[in-house]
Structure 1
Amino acid sequence: MTAAQGRTGRPPLTEERKAAIRLEIARAAVGLFIAQGVAATTGEQIGQAVGVSARTVWRYFPTKESCVRPLFSSGIDAIAAALRQWRPGRPLEEAFDHVWTPDVVVPGPDVGALLRLTRTEPGLRAVWLRTHDEAEPAFARALAERAGLPSDDVRPAIWAAMLNAALRAAVEHHAYRTPEPGAGPEAERADLAASLRTALAVTAAGLT
């Protein structure tokens, strides 16, 4: 009997299912953090909210604060793809027409409340900043590919740093503002999209 024939139990999870579980854990963690604070939230509670064990939570994430990482990083691949498709001679904002609209906007709706928590929770702030720090190489590779520059050219790294800082500042600006009375989800998404487009307009002159 081969190893494959002798294997029992559940089949291995697909990468898509793993990503879905990570996102479910992230959203459950955010909900608990908002409701009762980070300190009062346990891995067991996060797992119960998703229907998995605490052991499963720790299999995916090293700390409870890091559980929110998928919500912070969800837009990185979309941004990098948009940068690769940005045509020479066209406005930078145009590259994101299909990404940042009031209906489909990066990052997701959970991020505003989560970012407000980062102002008082150092552990969450560290995850947010680390996510952006790790995003820069992806942006730099995309910009180098678009410009036909070698990987060791410093210019894509500088462009990526400019863009990364502008996007982070725009999202934080949106999250930290006091919402308009009676503003619903659609107004929130539109405001976030507008903030992101402003960030692109401000930095576009240096990303030629």
Structure 2
Amino acid sequence: MSTEPPPTSLTERRKAATQLDIAHAAAELFATRGPEATTAEDIARRAGVALRTFYRYFRSKQDAVGPLLTVGAGHWRALLADKPPGTALGPALRDAVEQALAAPDPQAREALLRTRGLLRAAADDPALRAVWYRVNQESEELLVPVVARLADGRRDLLDVRLVAAAATDAIRIALEVWSGTEAATEGPGSPADLAVCCLRRLLSGTVTAEDEDDASPRH
């Protein structure tokens, strides 16, 4: 998981849809077979595209999951970007994270479980971990102007970057910790529950006392 406008032309939309189809296929195969036992040919076949089409979009099999992870990161940034300037950062971040990592329907639960499978597969695959970290780094960079807009001039660049880094890491760490457990997609120990806890701890030095209290987990 972006906040950029979606593709507008038919060609761009088809390209994005094909990339996402390939990403879904790669994620499913990595979670069930493992990256080592999965080839680019396997992914292309599962996605219903030619191998040359696969390599038109991706340099390696691990790169193929990038669009899927980017969509998830973009979703929570978009939720945060919808908040009006001047909104207290603690509550704004908490609310966006809770919404982005909620699992109110089967589709949302499936997306979280897919991410769990990918992170478990990445544990033994450095190239897949590199994609995960790259997507998080890109998400952090894209989050900086969103946080700056919310801060509305009340924070300097150092504070803004620290908040963007802490917020991104809160979600990353929460998902990584959750992926190593059998906790459900909702409730105690879920991604949303862990992410809000991470936010409270990571932002304790960069938000005001009032914001910190507001960002505390609700139990």
Report the TM-score, using the length of structure 2 for normalisation: 0.75
Q: 1:192 to 1:96 in 2, by over 3 A?
A: closer
The question of 1:113 aligning with 2:117 is answered: yes
Correspondences of 1:1-208 after superposition (within 5 Å):
13-84=10-81, 85=83, 88-89=87-88, 91=91, 92-103=93-104, 108-149=112-153, 153-177=157-181, 179=182, 187-190=184-187, 191-205=190-204, 206-208=206-208
Extract unaligned runs of 5+ from structure 2.
1-8, 209-219
Q: Is the 8 A contact 1:79 1:139 kept in 2?
A: no
What is the distance in 2 between the residues matched to 1:124 and 1:95? 27
Give the percent of matched residue pairs that are identical in Structure 1 and Structure 2. Answer: 33
Q: Is the alpha carbon distance of 1:108 and 1:74 closer, same or farther for their aligned partners in structure 2, counting shifts above 3 Å?
A: farther
What SS does structure 1 have at the residue aligned with 2:100?
coil
Q: For residue 48 of structure 1, what is the amino acid of its counterpart? A: R
Structure 1 segments, 4+ long, off by >6 Å, are: none
Distance 1:96 1:38 in 2: 29
* Deviation, structure 1 residue 96: 4.2
How far, CA to CA, are the matches of 1:97 and 1:121 in structure 2? 29
> How many angstroms does 1:78 deviate by?
2.0
| Larger gyration radius, structure 1 or structure 2 | 1
Question: For residues 98 and 31 of structure 2, what CA distance do their matches in structure 1 show?
Answer: 32
> What is the DSSP-based 3-state SS (H/G/I as helix, E as strand, rest coil) of the residue aligned with 2:194?
helix
1:72 Cα shift?
1.8
3-state DSSP class of the match of 2:136? helix
Q: Distance in 2 between matches of 1:30 and 1:97?
A: 24
Higher RCO by CA contacts (8 Å cutoff, separation 6 or greater): 2
Distance 2:98 2:123 in 1: 30
CA distance in 1, matches of 2:124, 2:23: 19
Gaps of 5+ in 1: 1-11, 181-186
Deviation digits for residues 127-170 of structure 1 (CA, Å, limit 9, x no counterpart): 111111111111111001111249x8222111111111221111
2:214 maps to: none
CA contact (8 A) 1:71 1:111 kept: no
Aligned length: 189
Equivalent residue of 2:23, what SS? helix
Superposed CA RMSD in Å reads 2.6
Q: 1:17 to 1:62 in 2, by over 3 A?
A: same
